[in-house]
Each structure stands twice: as structure tokens, then as C-alpha cells.
Structure 1
Amino acid sequence: MSTAPRAGTILIVDDNPVNRLLLGRGVEQQGHTIVFAEHGREALALLRERSFDLMLLDVVMPELDGYGVLAELKGDPHLRDIPVLMTSALDELDSVVKCIEMGAEDYLTKPINPVLLQARINASLEKKRLRDQQRELIGKFATEEVAEDLLTSGFSLGGKRTDVSALFCDIRSFTTLTEARDPAEVIELLNDYYTLMIDAISREGGIVNQIIGDGLMAIFGAPTPREDHHERAVVAARQMVELIRLFDDDQAAAGKPQIEIGVGVASGPVIAGYTGTLHRATYTCVGDTVNVAARLEAHTKIAGRPILIDENTRRALSDGIVVEPQGELLMKGKTEPINVFAVQVDSVFA
């Protein structure tokens, strides 16, 4: 049993007012919302201002013709999934082939048969619906940035060299905390903890790529490059610590256990990409920077400070973030010590 076709918002691009009127009337009678553009430049501006499900695009137009619009559309990762039906009085095979090769869904010659037009619109909207479902599904299992990277660049194992800030976070004395507690209470505590941590990280453009027990790893600066990834990582770390303090106030008032966290941040070159197999993979980064961040997080237990960062991160911070030198630290597996700094956290949300 077939389902009723989904109504959509359709952009009709044609420099001829009669063509716009005729096309618009027929499309509107199918239950769709229509918006008009008189030339290619206007169409691109509208596409970047609001969301459309489909575009009916004339080939021959002033300002920017249909070929030019298609080229810009398919070169923009945020617009290239919008289905395009070309409309033209040119019944030439070369024009048809060119448009299809450039990414158009179909090519309809004028005058357009209304039954054929309806069928093409319904088919294109269904493809758009399936692509939107795919994007939504990927987003359930990956961060928004990773999902966008997958949809725009595709999937392949391996990585590329880039500069990032890596962040590690862990709950202090978690094993001791959970020994005498019901597993359901522990799961509830972890869910609350991760909700707060992921919110702070995401707010600053980071992605959480690993969650193991009570610990997590986050990346700032990949897959979406950010010049200010150093500061974003530290700002996120400060928010994380302050959120836990506020969370503990509520926990104490309810007679529930409180927690403390330690956060380590290091910045520098890594290899970022997908690792695993063709059947199961994750987006991550590897390199000495990652190892330093993990060691700094572990060292917070010894230093008694909630956030520790390395020299590379400190050098890129603005004056508004106060740090205190903690001296040199020789980490396991390294031949040279690194300078360590503690970040002040007071009144993050003041």
C-alpha cells in the first residue's frame, strides 16, 4: 500500500514570469510550498538563507545560468544534497547529458507535462527524505562534526596530519565510589556525568570520540579545523569542572554521592582519521599529543589540581585564562620533561 507523497518546500528558478506562474500553479496544486527566484544569483542566496526540499531550475537565465547554479550547488557540502530538476526549452541531448553529469536528478523540456512533473517531484522528494534519514541515523552514532565529515568526504580508513588539542577527563576514585553502591545508582550517576561533560565539550566545538568506564577523550580542531582549538579545549575543561561543582551541590542536598574530576589538555600535531576495520571503525587521533594529554589527566591526582595543560596549550591562550606553573614533569615513555601548568577555574559561569 503506497503512502501519500510528502509535501515539500520547492524553489522555482526561471527568468520568465509566465513560466514561473505556470510552474508555480501546478506545483502548488500538489500541496507544496513554493518560492520564486528570477535568476541564478537570487536562487543561491535563497538556498543559503533557508531550507528547501527541491529546486526546479531553468537552464537559460541572465546573471547566472542553470549550469552555473548546478556547479556552485554541487560544490557546496551544505547544499549539494538538494535535488534539482532542470527545466528548459532546449531539447538537446548535449544539454541533458551535461546537466545529469553535473548532478541534476532529471531534465524536463518545456512545455512540461503536469503528470510527469508530479511524478518527478514525488520521486525527488522521496530521495531527499531517505538522504535526510541517513544523515539523522549517522548523527545518532557520531557527533555532528564526524557525521558531516562522513557525508561530505566519505569513509576511508587512515588519517591526515593536523594540529589539535586533546582532552582527557576521569572521575577521581571512581572504583572506591562504586564499591558499595547499587549498579543502577552508578549508571544514573554516569549518565548525569556524561551529559554534563559532553554538553561542555560540544558547546566549544569539541567532539567526544572515546568513552571508557568513567573516562572520556575529546578532540578540538578535528575533523573541523579550528585555529582557536587550544583555548576552546581549556574553556571546555573549566566549564566541565565548574559543572561538576554545581552538580555536587545538588547531589549533597539530595544526600547522594559527590564526585571530582581531573582534566588534562595537550596541543600539537596528530594523525586524525578513522581507525578500525571496514566493518567497524571510529574517528580518533593518535600521536604524542594524545599521550601527553592522558598523562596530564593522570597527574592531576598527584598535583591536586583539577586541570593541567602543557606548554603548547598555554602559549596559545588569551590573557583572560589564568594559569599557574607547576614545574617540569618527566612522563613515562618520554626522554625529556615537559612544563606543566594548572588552570584556575573559579567563577566560570559568573
Structure 2
Amino acid sequence: MHQNSGNVLMISDEEHDLNLFRSQFVRHYNVFTASSIRKGFKTLEEYDIHVVLIKQKMNDMTGLQFSESISHSKPEVLSIIFAESEDTESLDIAIKKNLIYRYVNYPYDDKDLKMVLDGALKLSEAEYHNRELSGEIEKFKSKQEDILKLFKRYVPGEVVSQALDSSDEQLMSPGESRVVSVLFADIRGFTQFASHLRPSQVVSFLNDYWNEISDCIKKNKGSINKYMGDGLLAVFGAPVSYIDNHTNAVSAALDMIESLGSINKKYADLLGTEIKIGIGINTGEVVVGNVGTNDYMEYTVIGNTVNVASRMEAISKKIPNSIIISEHTRELVKDEFETSGPKEATIKGKGVSIPYFEVFRKKSDNIYNIRSRRESS
């Protein structure tokens, strides 16, 4: 590979940006363009791309989230992000952690950008001929394995991995804005029927229940942020992001409802009833980061997106084994899941209505139907 024949992909939701980049650099590189995150990901699957340039502010996710997403399947691809604001702290940290190659201020100077691209392509070529570096990375990961196995029992595994790779200064960073899907889930009436059980029986049931539910979330690439008695908060898109964060959240919710069958088969006689849960999901921008003291820290998500997700879960209390999603989440997943029409509920204590939708099933699934399952119970 020669630097003047490198394959460079530009991703922007502005057609003007793509046309301008193509006209400026097509004589220097093999230029590919994509007008959306999904089209960009498809191009990476179809072609041997060496360098990706992407705007930090995109509709579906940030440029940094996209770079994290492709790092799982395309670690050899170098990312360059167009920074459109002066707040570049998260991008500086990403460079230190080798998540991205560089960032360039936008609008860019074409001569400066060419110098950055040439440097990225030289590095890509060097790494192509020096793959033994990956062996050192694997050796480093193996040393962490015992520590990861221990701490992943108590906090999200992704958070542990980040902590091991970060300095104290990075751990106490002020935070980062991300577009994520937030999921709240809660067992209906648990306090009432648990009051008749011995403490050991309550703990045994909750451990079995959380094992089932946690598997559903992990399988769909989510991270459990915290357990709250008989409820939980899970996040899809932080601390690690994937292409289909919102779809993964709804798929996890459907799997959670389905998993109740085995739990109820085991515990229905002991509890005197079949357990039912409610799930609420919302998608939007949040602030994420490690908050706490020198003695104790907690990875947390903050913002109105979290509050709305909690309200979606509260709405689900009226409908056993229901999945309630916000209007924005429904817009993102409407092509993949069957939902109800728009409904409204009044927020307790605020006197205002909030729109919501109920999820019934995946459109490709002709067997599993959450609506019929709920009605049969």
C-alpha cells in the first residue's frame, strides 16, 4: 500500500461536505464517501478501508462512538474525527487510549488535513507489516484476566477494563456526552410476596433472577449500570458503544420477558404467583463519567434521558410484562419492531402528558409475541 493510493472513507450527513472532500482529495487517495453512520459501516464491510474521517456531531451517534464501534471488528482502521467545538477533552483521551488516530478542527485546512492523512496512511502501512504488535496486546490482556474476573462480579466489565487502562487523572475526568439507550426494569409487587419468604429464599430468588436478566442484557451488548433491589438500570452505548445501541436495548427487553418462563417454572410455587416485570426505554444524550471520591467511584449516567426512561418504566406498571419506549426510541426502531400506536400518560406530580409506545415483538419473529404472552398470563 502506498500513501497516495490509500483507501480513505469520509462520513458526513452533509452532502456538501462529501462533495467538497471528494473534489479536494480524489487525486491523492482512493476516496469513499458515506452520508450516514449505517452507510459508513456498510462501506467498511465491503472495502479495505485504511482511514476513516467522520464528523463528531452525527444524528445517530457521535464520531467517537462510531470509532469505538468499529474498533471491535476493524481494529486496523484508523479514525480521524472532525471536531466542531472547542470541547475536545474526550477526543484527547481517546487519542491517548488509541481509540482514534487524530482529530482535526472543522472547518479544516485542506493542506493540514492532507498532512494528517498522509501520516495516518504511513502508520497504517507500518502496522500492516508489523502485526506482531497485536501479540504484545494479547499478552497484556492475559495479565489482567484474573483481576477482571474478580471485579466483573461487582461492576460492569467494560468499566473495569477502562479503569485498568486509565490514569487517576483520566478516571476523574469531568465526563463525556453520549447518545445512548437507557433501560429501567422492575419486578411488579415483589415487596408484597417477598415479605412471606425467609431472607435466604429472597436472596436465592434474586440471584437466579438477576443471572437470567443480566445474561439478556450482556448478550445484547448492554452494560448494567446498577442494581436497585428488585430493579435495575442498564445502558446501551456506554461505556462501550455499538452500531445498534437502540435496537440492542429493545432486543434485550424482549429477551428479558421471554426469560421469565424458566424463572416462574422454578419459583411460582414458592412465591405463590408468577412474577411479572415492567421495562422502560428511552434514547438520547446523557453525560457519562466516573463520579465519586478517592476511596469510592461509580460510573454513572446523568441527564433528562435517564429521567424519561424512568418514567417509561413507571408507565409499564399498568401493563404486566410490558415494554414501554419513548417516542424518540420508537422512531429509531420502528422498522425492526412491532409497536402500538402512540399513547399518552400523565406524569405524576407534574400534570403534563408524555407520549409513549408499547413494544410487542420483532417484526421478523412470527412465533414470539409479547402481547399474546402477556394476555395468556
The two structures share one fold, judged by TM-score above 0.5 = yes
Tell me if the contact between 1:207 and 1:218 (Cα under 8 Å) persists in the aligned partners.
yes
- Who is 2:171 aligned against? 156
* In structure 1, C-alpha distance between the alignment counterparts of 2:295 and 2:133, rounded to whole Å: 29
Matches within 5 A, 1:239-258: 239-252=255-268, 257-258=273-274
- TM-score, with structure 1 as normaliser: 0.60
- By how many angstroms is 1:187 displaced? 1.1
Match of 2:12 in 1: none
Give the alignment of 1:195-234 within 5 angstroms: 195-234=211-250
Amino acid at match of 2:223: I
Tell whether 2:330 aligns with 1:317.
no
Within 2, Cα distance between the matches of 1:163 and 1:310? 14
Report matched runs for 1:132-151 at 5 Å: 132-151=145-164
Per-residue CA shift, 1:147-195, capped at 9, x if unaligned? 2222334452332000000001111001111121111111111111101
Q: Which runs of 5+ in 1 are unaligned?
A: 1-47, 49-63, 84-127
* CA distance in structure 2 between the aligned counterparts of 1:278 and 1:210, rounded to whole angstroms: 20
Indicate if the aligned counterparts of 2:181 and 2:236 stay in contact, CA closer than 8 A. Answer: yes
Aligned length: 242
Which of 279, 285, 290 is the aligned partner of 1:269? 285
Alpha-carbon distance between aligned partners in 2 of 1:255 and 1:161, rounded to the nearest angstrom: 43
C-alpha distance in 2 between matches for 1:152 and 1:300: 39
* Partner residue in 1 for 2:13: none
Q: 1:72 to 1:267 in 2, by over 3 A?
A: farther
RMSD: 3.5
Counterpart in the other structure of 1:347: 368
Shift of 1:334: 6.2
Q: How far 1:242 moved relative to its partner?
A: 1.1
TM-score normalised to the size of structure 2? 0.56
Work out whether 1:289 is the aligned partner of 2:302. Answer: no
Q: Answer with 1 or 2: which has the greater Rg.
A: 1
In the superposition, relative to structure 1, how do residues 344 and 131 fare at CA in structure 2: closer, same or farther (>3 Å)? closer
Conserved 8 A contact 2:175-2:287? yes
Q: Structure 1 residues 134, 177: closer, same or farther in 2, change over 3 A?
A: same
Q: Which runs of 5+ in 2 are unaligned?
A: 1-74, 76-121, 362-366, 371-377
SS at match of 1:325: coil
Separation of aligned partners in 1, 2:245 and 2:322: 20
Task: Tell me which of 171, 191, 197 is aligned to 2:207.
Answer: 191
**Partners in 2 of 1:189 and 1:320 — Cα distance?**
33
Which residue of structure 2 aligns with residue 302 of structure 1?
318
Partner of 2:185 in structure 1?
Answer: 169
Q: In the TM superposition, what whole-angstrom CA distance separates every residue of 1:103-145 from its partner, at most 9, and x where no partner exists?
A: xxxxxxxxxxxxxxxxxxxxxxxxx875444444443433222
SS in 1 for 2:234: strand
